[in-house]
Amino acid sequence: MKTTFSGWRYLWKSEDIRSKLIITFIILVIYRLAANVPAPGVDHDILAAFRNSTTGQGNFLDFLNLLSGGTVTNFSLLSMGVYPYITAQIILQLLIPIIPSLQKRIQEDPREGRRWQEKWTYYLAVPMAALSAIGQINIFNSLSLSSSIQQAILPFSLTDPDLALSSWTVLVAMTAGTMFAIWMGELISEYGIRGQGLSLIIFAGIVSQMPSNLAALLADEETRWIMLGFTLLIIVLTVLAIVYVQQGRRNVPVLYPGRRVGNRMSMPVKGTLPLMVNLSGMIPLIFASAILQFPAIVASYFTQNENPGVASFFLGIQNFFGATGTSNWGYWLIYFGMVVVFTFFYTAVLFDQQNYGENLKKVGANVPGVHTGEATQKYLSTVQRRITLVGAVFLGLVAIMPFLLGLLLGAFNLSAASSQTGIFLVSSSGLLIVVGVVRDTFQNIDAELKLHGYQDSLLVR
């Protein structure tokens, strides 16, 4: 796929496309302004001291901060971003093939099934957002209490009579903040760039962190130019790898039946069925990171236990799943393995939902040398699993890129710079999201241009 910018001149000519771009930009600005509204009851002095004490340590708060667009370290009302909604989507997608009644509902009426799925995704997103808010508050408080600060950032207890009212207020406010972010994304999808609302919300959050990350990178006068060159090299190589793998396809030959024209029958038509190397996209990274956060969230409830042994045990669990520096290689091995496993699992779920074997049989098409129906589905599933191995290993390497870069920097005795590993998270997981969103946005705008009659569009294939 080649890119040309000759179609850009039409973006401002079309009144409809121009209004969609302006609406998208305005909504993103409103979202970024709302992302700086702090949660009620936060002690900002303690928060600032805690943020300074953990800067550059590579703990998982850096990952949360990246995905939320800086709202975590600011303890914003939008600290969870839209990820409770994404988690709810993943849960429902995984439940559909497991529960026969749900699968039957989707297959009988796909349009009504999608509406039902969207409705219950919203319902499920509310408790997911509330649980995420409780876990996030507990983690922040336990980390600040166990650090040199030794004070809670936000006193929180839903059962303590003295703290119940303020705690419930914070919980409701942060849950409402998540639903507000989801609503912003839905407005973009409806009135702005179609289908890209939630993706652009995440995209805006990641991009907003790049200037501050660059400033932190240039703060060290001794290594600033070495690190800048190294960062640019890593960005270029990572983008090339992401584009190459994301665009990877395996074209399976397919024969479509000929058509009758009058008294004559045309020859069968040769076609291809493209199977993606990375069908699951970014979902395995998000799902694996969410699962790895769960032990730290659970442990945060017990770190202040009166029994010193119990408190020490759970504090160790929290530190293991929270401190993600280069010394904690066990965490990264688990992360890599979970990303690979989830990639295979989620790809299998999505591929089975497509049901290529039955769909090809309905139109009379077949893969040469393979029986139609179930045999075709099994053959295509085997091919998909083989090519998914490349995509799974790639996603796993993207996930542990901060760890690998930290080791590489340490090997070159750039110990001062190796503490900046969190910056390179933008170059791996963050860039995977950014490149994917930019590519999808270009394709959507290209489709809009063609819809309005502008054939000289942005993308030339």
Tens of pLDDT along 255-302? 887 666 666 666 677 888 888 888 887 778 777 877 777 777 777 667
Are domains 12-217 and 221-424 of this chain identical in fold? yes
Residue with tokens 């953990």: 54
Where are the chain's structural domains?
A: 12-217, 221-424
Tens of pLDDT, residue by residue over 125-184, are 999 889 888 877 877 777 677 666 677 778 888 888 888 888 899 899 999 999 998 999
Question: What average pLDDT is seen over the chain?
Answer: 77
- Position 172 scores a pLDDT of 92
194 or 380, which is more confident: 380
- Residue 253 β-bridge partners: 272
Q: Are 237 and 101 in contact (CB under 8 A)?
A: no
Which whole-number Å values give the CA distances from 420 to 119, 232, 417, in the listed order? 42, 14, 5
* Ordered DSSP codes for 73-109: TTTBTTTTTTHHHHHHHHHHHHHTTTSHHHHHHHHH-
Q: Quick one: which H or E segment has residue 265? A: strand 264-265
**What is the rounded average pLDDT of the residues 19-38?**
88
Instruction: Give 456's pLDDT tier (boundaries 50, 70, 90).
Output: low
The whole-angstrom distance between residue 374's C-alpha and the CA centroid of its chain comes to: 33
At the fourth CATH level, the homologous superfamily of domain 221-424 is SecY subunit domain (1.10.3370.10)
Spatial CA neighbour of 88 closest among 116, 114, 115, 126: 126
Six token digits for residue 363: 């139109």
CA pair distance 241, 239, nearest whole angstrom: 5
| Residues pairing with 397 in the sheet | none
So what's the pLDDT on residue 461?
46
pLDDT at 180: 92
The structure tokens listed for 167 are 């705690």
What pLDDT, in 10s, does the model give residues 304-324? 677 778 777 877 777 777 655
Q: Are 256 and 364 in contact (CB under 8 A)?
A: yes
| CATH number, domain 12-217 | 1.10.3370.10
Mean pLDDT of 209-234: 76
Mean pLDDT computed over 391-417: 74
What is the DSSP secondary-structure string of 181-247? Answer: HHHHHHHHHHHSSTT-HHHHHHHHHHHHHHHHHHHHHTT-TTTHHHHHHHHHHHHHHHHHHHHHHHT
